Amino acid sequence: MGKVMTVLKIFPEENYSIEKLKDNVLKVEGCNTSKVIDFVFGSKIVQASFICNDGESKDFEEIVRAQVEGCSEVQVEEVGLL
């Protein structure tokens, strides 16, 4: 059985520290990487990747929304087999 990687774009709440959001995302079980990237008009977001076993079917979008403090919006950017 293979592994599945999900890449998410995570948007901070207004006036919330982007570095703190990045650190909060890293605490989620299954998080592989978390980095701050430039978005539009000089704003920044967190791009994070999550790995789980194929067939495990974890909804990392909902997990991040529910568990991560400072998160206002989550979008799936990519899902694929490793």
Domain boundaries, the chain: 3-81
Q: Each residue of 7-38: pLDDT tens digit?
A: 999 999 999 999 999 999 999 999 999 999 99
The whole-number pLDDT of residue 18 equals 96
For domain 3-81, is the CATH number 3.40.50.720? no
Nearest of 5, 43, 42, 41 to residue 21 by alpha carbon: 43
**Cβ-based neighbours of 71, under 8 Å, separated by 6 or more:** 10, 11, 12, 13, 21, 24, 25, 64, 65
Q: Give me the percent of the chain exceeding a pLDDT of 70.
A: 100
Q: What's the pLDDT score for residue 56?
A: 84
